[in-house]
Amino acid sequence: MQKYHIEKNTVQETLIIPLYGRKVCSERFPELFKDEEAERICNMLDYDFAEKGKKMESGVGLFGALEVAQRQYDIACEVKAYLKKKPNAAVVNLGCGLDDTVRKCDNGTCKGYNIDMPDVIEVRDKLLPSSRREINLPFDINDDRWMDEIDGSEGAIFFATGVFYYFKTEDVRALFCKLAKRFPGGAVVFDACNKRGARMMTKTWLKEAGISDVRALFSVEKAWDLEKWSDDFVIVSSRSYMRGYRDIYDNVGLLHKLMIGFCDFYVKMIIVRILFREEPK
């Protein structure tokens, strides 16, 4: 099998960090996470994982992998819950990278869309080509033209993992307000942390990933504060990132228990869901 080469210090390399994290969790915590797709894609890559593997096998590094896998699990829970009410809805992955959540949530009738920058979609098309009910769309999320490609006539749920941290707050607000207007009855789900967590992310994870020209900007102190952004938001709720959907506290060792507490109480890592007002009948 011909392998796909990944250049060091490129956008391509940043794509494989969460992917490799899911693979590591699949191997180390198979009773919690079994991600055959992450394993398959990593095996398709011409990339030396030795350095990242060594870092991710440390206690702190392994917790980072746990965060990535748990985050995907949490988001998938929200998508599946929405599809139970609106099974023919659009499922839209904003800033998809090499994430396959749409595929994992496919109920046989939903419509899937994966959106990211053209250079990212170019890589994705080679490693995760579109399936029968799934489309990969090459757009900047801030380019509203991608919304014209979404069939939200029977509902729409938008989600983003590890994306909005790097947006200005006013840009996140503008995006959510546009989505609420264009897709009544829809929802948006995303992960967030407080300002303290955003500062730590800039100093640790981004530095570790070799990303020097980006800093974390958007943060959420209290999820319900977002209700003020628009009259089209009917419900804004949040749940713990590591314990809110499936509590893994008893499945990990002491160090990771302490780090879960740190995430919950110090940096407030949460999954936020905003439900949009239905269109008047």
DSSP 35-75: -HHHHHHHHTEE---HHHHHHHTSHHHHHHHHHHHHHHHHH
Task: Please tell me the total count of domains within the chain.
Answer: 1
In terms of average pLDDT, the best of 2-6, 51-55, 58-62, 127-131 is 127-131
- Answer yes or no: is 47 within a domain: no
Is residue 110 predicted with pLDDT exceeding 50? yes
Instruction: Determine which of 201-205, 219-223, 247-251 has the lowest per-residue pLDDT on average.
Output: 201-205
Is residue 204 predicted with pLDDT exceeding 60? no
pLDDT of 49 reads 83
We report the CATH number of the domain holding residue 252 as 3.40.50.150
Paired strand residues for 270: 192, 240
- Answer yes or no: is 98 within a domain: yes
- Answer yes or no: is 50 within a domain: no
Average pLDDT of the chain, as a whole number: 89
- Answer yes or no: is 190 within a domain: yes
Is residue 210 predicted with pLDDT exceeding 70? no
- Answer yes or no: is 184 within a domain: yes
Closest to 218 (Cα-Cα) out of 95, 79, 36: 95
- Answer yes or no: is 52 within a domain: no
H/E stretch holding 79 reads helix 59-85
More confident residue, 176 or 7: 176
Rounded Cα distance, 53 and 62, in Å: 10
